[in-house]
Structure 1
Amino acid sequence: MLSQWHGFRGLQKDCADKLQTGLLGEEPVDLLLDAHPAEGSQQRHAVIEIPAENAAFVLRNFSNLDATEASSRIRKHLEQVRTSRQRKRLSEDGDWW
């Protein structure tokens, strides 16, 4: 998974750099994430935007997470977004079987 982490400084920048590297091996590899500090959080929380899915969420206390845990949370949230969209499409289309 490709990601861009910007706006972080100090220890949070080091953590963001590790997460950027850690996400490289995550599926889907062609997905682009954009991350920046949540307003008013003193860089403790990161806003993760997924333009291809038109979705965003807050990764709380991201600098306290290791790259594996953070990427797992991002992947789980992405799966929830996709599942929700799929259910919505199926309900709009009616019976499909």
Structure 2
Amino acid sequence: MSNAKPGSGDDDPEMVQINLRLSEAFLEDIDATWKEQGFNSRSEFLRYVARDAVKHPDFSRAGWKQIATSEHELRSGDDELVSREDVIEMMDRGTDDE
């Protein structure tokens, strides 16, 4: 880690710059997502998801996989919409799996 450089776009002196290695394909997914979600930048989006992961550690990897699978099935026409209650139930089941 290194301290953020002046003029890096982050005016907060508490900000620290980090380096992160990602595959090109994953970075393309991240870029598409932050733009679709209306974030101002990749950094803003990554700070948001990191903060969310730290604040909600019970939200498991298995739960994310269930949501991604359901989203894919819905978009491909292989599934129906699920209710809010169904999503909550899936997440509760997913917290014990890793």
Q: TM-score, normalised by structure 1?
A: 0.29
The structure carrying a bigger strand percent of its residues is 1
* Greater helix share, structure number: 2
Q: Rg bigger for which structure?
A: 2
**TM-score using structure 2 length:** 0.29
